[in-house]
Structure 1
C-alpha cells in the first residue's frame, strides 16, 4: 500500500540528503596513533611531503589538522561521486574517510546510502548499525536503521528503533508515521490508526491532511461497512484540508468504484481536473475510462496531460498515436509516431504502426520503406513482409513482391503468413506447382494451420486435382469446424463435380448461418440449389449474392443461368452481358458470349417459343 512506499521514499531521502561534515570526532585522545618508526624506510618521501607528526606522552600521532583535512577531502570526493551516480567510487571514498575519521556516524550513514543504491542490503544494514552504535542519540541514524529493518520485514527491530526515536524526541513526526505503516503492513489496523491519529494531536506536525489520508487507506482495506464509511470521512477530510491532494481524491474514487458507484468517482475526477492543476494520475484513470467507452476525443485530452508530466512519455505518445489512428487522423498520427521513433529508433512496434498508417493513407512507397525496416527478430516481421509484398503487388511490381516474400521466408521459417503470401504471389504468376511446393513446406511445419491447408486446397484446384481439394478442405474443417471459406469451397467443389449435393447444401447453409452477408457463400448455396433443379429458390440466393458482390463475373453468370431456366430471357441476357464485361479471362468471356448468342439465335428462329422448350439451348446453358 501507499504507506510502505511513502516510508521507503522517505528513508531514501534521508539517505541521500545526509550532508553533514565528515569530522564528527573532536576528542584529541580518540585520534589514531601513529608511531614514528613506521617512517623508517629507505625510500621515504621528502620531508616536505610527509604529514606532520606530533609527539605526546612518548607516542607519535598524526597532526589533527591533517587528519581532518584528509577526512574532509575523501568525504567531499564521495559526495561528488554520489552526485555523478558512481556509487562504487563513492563507497571507496567514504571508506577512505573512515580511515581518517573512524567515529563519524555521518560517514557510516552515507556508506549505508551508497550500499543501498547498489542493492547491497546487508552491507547497508551494517553501516546503519555502526552509525547508531557511534551515536546512540542520532535520530536520523535510528530512522535509517528502522527503515532498513522494515524493508527486510524485520518488524520487531524496526519498531524498536522507531520507539527509541520517540523516547529521544517525543515530538518527532516521522516515527509515528513509520510505526503506523509497520502496523498497517501487519494488518493491525487499529494500532496503525492510533499512531496516525497521534500525529493529529502533535502541534509540530505540519501536514495533517496526510494523517487523515493514511487513516483512510488503512480503513479502505477493511471490508466492514463501518470502516468504509470511516475511510470515506478520512479522505474527505484530507481533501478539505488540501483540495489539490490528488492521492486522496484517487483513493476516494477507488472507494466509490469498490461500492459500484463508478459514476460518482468519475464525476469527482472530472471536477478535480477542472478546479485544480490537472493530475497526471487522475488523467490516466480518465483516459482509460474514455478509451474503453470509445470517447477518443476526451481520452486524448487526458493523455496530453499525462504526456506533459510523464517520466516515460513514449508509451503515452504511442497511446495517443493509436487514438489518432482510430479517429483516422492519419497526418497527426504520423507526426506523433515520428516523434516516438526519433526517441526510440529501434522500436519495431512503432515502425510497424507508422508503416500501417502510411498504407492507410495510400502512401505505398513510404509504407513499403518502413515495413522493410522491421527487423527479422521482431514479432511484427511476418506481418511486415506480408504487407510489403502485398503493396508491391498492388503497384504492379509482382517480381519484386515475390523477392520480398522469398527473402522473408529465408530469414524466418516460423511465420506461417509468409508461406501464405509467397504462395499467393506465385499463384498470381500462374506458377501453381511452385506455389503448391511452398505450401507443402509450410504444412510440414504447421500441419494444424487451417489457412495454409485451405490455400493448398485452392492451388490444387488450379492444378485440376479435385480429389486433393476435397481431402484438404475436409482437413481444414477438422482443424477448424467453423472455417467458413473451407465449408464454402468444399460445398462449391461438390457442386462443380455434381456429387454429394445434399451434403454440399448443408455445408453452404452452415456457412451462411455464420456469414449471412457473404456474397460468395450465397452464390454457392444458390448454385447448389440450381444443380438440384430448384431454380426458383436458387434465384433468391443468387440475387442476394449479386447484391453483395456486384462486380464478380461468376455470380452474375450463375444468376443469368437461373433466370434462363425460369424463362426470364431478358434478365438472363442482361446478366450474361454484365458477366462478360466483368470477366478478364478471354476464354471465359467467349463462353459467356456464346450463351448470349444462343439466346439471340433462339429469338430469331422462334420469338414466341418459350426458351424452356428449346432442348438444345437449355443443354448449352446448363454448362457452368
Structure 2
C-alpha cells in the first residue's frame, strides 16, 4: 500500500467562501511514549520492521521517533535536530533525507530542503518523493514554470501519481489558467477514475468558475465514493447556496452539523440562510442554540432580538435589549430596535428617549429625527413636534418625507395653508411623489379649492393606478357636493376593490347611497363601517343623518350622541337637539292620543 506523503506545501483555498471546512490536524497518540518505550518497541518481536531504505538502524529510528513526537508537540526546531541526528547515524537513508527535507520546507527553510532533495537526486534522479518536494519548493518561490516542469516529470515517471496531478493543477490555478487546471484533473480522473481527490478538486474548480451546476455534479459524484466526507459536503452546500438553491444548501449544511455538532460557524451559516429567506422562526431556533451554548456571552442577543422583532414579539425584544444596551450603550442597531419595539408596545416615552440617544450617537440619522417628531406628535407635544419637523426640513432638505410630515403637523393645527405650502415644497424636490401629491389635494379640498383638488386626485391616480385613497376622496367629494353621484359611487367602489374592509371607504359608499336617496342601502353600509371603525365620529354622524331620514329618531339620537362622545362639534350637537325635540314632540302626541275623550253632559 502506498504510504501517505507529508508534503508541507499548502494548497491555497480556491474558494474563499469555503471557510467552514475544518483543517486536518496531526493525530496525536492517546498516550505519548517515552524514548525508552520506543527503544523497547524497536526490539520487540511484534514490531513492524522498518525497511533498510527507510531507517536502517534501531538507533536512527529512535531519534526519528523522537522527531515525530516533537512534531506532534509543535516543537519543530527539536524535530529538526532529532531528524538530523538520525541521518547522521544512518546517512544512506533516503527516507530520512526526504523526511528532513519536508520538515525544513514546513519550517520555511527552503534552501536546506532543496540541498537534501538534490542529494537524493544524486542517488535516484527519478525519485517521485524528491520531485514532489522540489515542486513544492519551486511553487513556494513562485517559480511556477519550473514547478510545472517538475510535476510533469513526476507524472511522466509515474502516471498513477495522484499528488502530482493535484499539485500541478494548483500551480496552473495560481497562474490563472483554469482550462489547464481542468485538463490536468481530468487526466488524473482518467488515470484513477475513482479518485475522490480528483473529483472533489474538479468540483472546486467549477465552483471558482461559477459553473455551480457542474460543481454540484462533481461534488455529488465524490460523495458516492466518500459518503462521510465533511469537506465534500462543504463544497456541495456552498455550490447550492451560490446557485440560490437554498433548500439543498440547508440540507447539506444540516448534514455537516450532524457530523460536527459543536461547529458554531455552521449553526451561524444555517441561521443566516433562514434569515435571508425570511424564515424567522427557523432562524431564531439556531440563534437561540448559539445563545444557549454560551449563556455568558451576549454576542447573539442582538440577532435574537431582531428576529423576535420580525416575529412581532415586541415585549421579548424589549426584555433582551434593555440589558444589552446597558453593556453596549453605543450600539445604534440595538437602540434602534429597542426604540421600535417600545413604540409597538406603546411605551412611547421610553421609545422617545431611545431615539434621542440614537440621534446623539448619530446626528445624521434621518430615521431617528423623523421618529422623534412622530412620537412627540403622538404624545401631544404639538409645539415641540412642529419645531422638530421644521428643523428636519432644514437638516434633510432633499428628503421628500420631511415635507410630508411637516405638512401633517400643520394639519394637526388646522393650518391648511401652511400644510399646502409644505407639500408643495416637497413636490419641488420630488414631483411624482404620490403621497405628497395626494395630501396637496387634501389640503386644497380643505381650503375650498374643489376643482383644483379634484384635478390633483386625478393626477394621483395617473401616477399610481391602485392608490385607493385617491378614488375614495374623489367619490366622497362628489357625494358631499351631491353631484355626479353615479361617478362618485363608481370611484368609491373602485377604492373598495383594493381595500374591501376599509371602514372609511365603506362609510363613503354609505354616504353616496344617502345622497342618492337609497337610505336602506346607506344604513346597511354605514352600520358595517361603524363595526370596522368603532371610534370614528363622522360615521356615527352619518348614521344619525340616515336614521333621521328614516324618521327613526331614537337610533338617530343614539348615533349623534356617540359622535359627540368621540368629538365635540356644534353642528352635531344641533342635530342631536333637533332629533331629541322630535322625540319629545312625538312622545307628547302619543300621550295626548292615549287620553279618553270627555263626553258632553258628564
TM-score band (shorter)?
0.5 to 0.7
Contact 1:280 1:305 (8 Å CA) reproduced: no
Contact 1:209 1:239 (8 Å CA) reproduced: no
**Equivalence for 1:597:** 580
TM-score scaled by length of structure 2: 0.64
The question of 1:213 aligning with 2:197 is answered no
Give 1:413 deviation, angstroms. Answer: 0.6
**Equivalence for 2:148:** 159
After TM superposition, the structure 1 = structure 2 runs for residues 417-436 of structure 1, keeping only pairs within 5 Å, are 417-436=401-420
Q: Secondary structure at the match of 2:548?
A: helix
After TM superposition, the structure 1 = structure 2 runs for residues 527-546 of structure 1, keeping only pairs within 5 Å, are 527-546=511-530
Name the count of aligned residue pairs. 475
2:410 and 2:254 mapped to 1: Cα distance? 57
After TM superposition, the structure 1 = structure 2 runs for residues 333-482 of structure 1, keeping only pairs within 5 Å, are 333-334=317-318, 348-374=332-358, 381-482=365-466
Q: 1:189 to 1:556 in 2, by over 3 A?
A: same
Residues 290-339 of structure 1: per-residue CA shift (max 9 Å, x gap): 446765444223235678999xx999765433212123444553576578
After TM superposition, the structure 1 = structure 2 runs for residues 189-200 of structure 1, keeping only pairs within 5 Å, are 189=182, 191-195=184-188
Contact 1:495 1:504 (8 Å CA) reproduced: yes
The question of 1:548 aligning with 2:532 is answered yes
**Equivalence for 1:49:** none
Q: 1:8 to 1:392 in 2, by over 3 A?
A: closer
User: Which residue of 457, 478, 491 corresponds with 1:494?
Assistant: 478
2:212 and 2:424 mapped to 1: Cα distance? 64
**Equivalence for 2:46:** none
The question of 1:503 aligning with 2:487 is answered yes
Give 1:385 deviation, angstroms. Answer: 2.5
Give 1:474 deviation, angstroms. Answer: 2.3
Q: 1:302 to 1:209 in 2, by over 3 A?
A: farther
Q: 1:358 to 1:386 in 2, by over 3 A?
A: same
Q: Which stretch of the first structure deviates more once superposed, 347-356 or 401-410? A: 347-356
1:9 and 1:293 mapped to 2: Cα distance? 19
1:598 and 1:490 mapped to 2: Cα distance? 36
The question of 1:525 aligning with 2:533 is answered no
Q: Which stretch of the first structure deviates more once superposed, 434-443 or 328-337? A: 328-337
Q: Secondary structure at the match of 1:5?
A: coil
2:365 and 2:246 mapped to 1: Cα distance? 41
Residues 564-600 of structure 1: per-residue CA shift (max 9 Å, x gap): 3334444333222222322233x23423313422431
2:390 and 2:310 mapped to 1: Cα distance? 33
2:132 and 2:584 mapped to 1: Cα distance? 112
Contact 2:213 2:239 (8 Å CA) reproduced: no
The question of 1:177 aligning with 2:166 is answered yes
Q: 1:266 to 1:256 in 2, by over 3 A?
A: same
2:395 and 2:245 mapped to 1: Cα distance? 53
Give 1:408 deviation, angstroms. Answer: 1.3
Contact 1:235 1:251 (8 Å CA) reproduced: no
Residues 209-268 of structure 1: per-residue CA shift (max 9 Å, x gap): 76663355468889999997664241254453x5xx2x3223345678999997676555
Q: 1:500 to 1:351 in 2, by over 3 A?
A: same
**Equivalence for 2:102:** none
**Equivalence for 2:600:** none
User: Which residue of 171, 186, 191 corresponds with 2:179?
Assistant: 186
Contact 1:176 1:198 (8 Å CA) reproduced: no
Give 1:520 deviation, angstroms. Answer: 0.3
1:210 and 1:340 mapped to 2: Cα distance? 47
**Equivalence for 1:25:** none
1:266 and 1:555 mapped to 2: Cα distance? 53
The question of 1:234 aligning with 2:217 is answered no
Q: Secondary structure at the match of 2:13?
A: helix
1:261 and 1:462 mapped to 2: Cα distance? 54
Q: Secondary structure at the match of 1:447?
A: coil
The question of 1:512 aligning with 2:499 is answered no
Q: 1:309 to 1:295 in 2, by over 3 A?
A: same
Give 1:512 deviation, angstroms. Answer: 0.3
1:420 and 1:9 mapped to 2: Cα distance? 45
**Equivalence for 1:576:** 560
Give 1:276 deviation, angstroms. Answer: 2.8
Q: Which stretch of the first structure deviates more once superposed, 355-364 or 254-263? A: 254-263
Q: 1:477 to 1:261 in 2, by over 3 A?
A: closer
Q: 1:273 to 1:391 in 2, by over 3 A?
A: same
Residues 12-50 of structure 1: per-residue CA shift (max 9 Å, x gap): xxxxxxxxxxxxxxxxxxxxxxxxxxxxxxxxxxxxxxx
After TM superposition, the structure 1 = structure 2 runs for residues 44-123 of structure 1, keeping only pairs within 5 Å, are none
Q: 1:506 to 1:382 in 2, by over 3 A?
A: farther
1:252 and 1:491 mapped to 2: Cα distance? 59
Q: Secondary structure at the match of 2:557?
A: helix
Give 1:194 deviation, angstroms. Answer: 4.0
Contact 1:278 1:305 (8 Å CA) reproduced: no
Q: Secondary structure at the match of 2:483?
A: coil
2:405 and 2:387 mapped to 1: Cα distance? 11
2:204 and 2:365 mapped to 1: Cα distance? 47
Contact 2:352 2:372 (8 Å CA) reproduced: yes
1:512 and 1:591 mapped to 2: Cα distance? 32
TM-score scaled by length of structure 1: 0.62
1:258 and 1:415 mapped to 2: Cα distance? 36
2:15 and 2:552 mapped to 1: Cα distance? 87
Q: 1:504 to 1:8 in 2, by over 3 A?
A: closer
2:235 and 2:214 mapped to 1: Cα distance? 17
The question of 1:5 aligning with 2:13 is answered yes
Give 1:541 deviation, angstroms. Answer: 1.7
Give 1:424 deviation, angstroms. Answer: 1.4
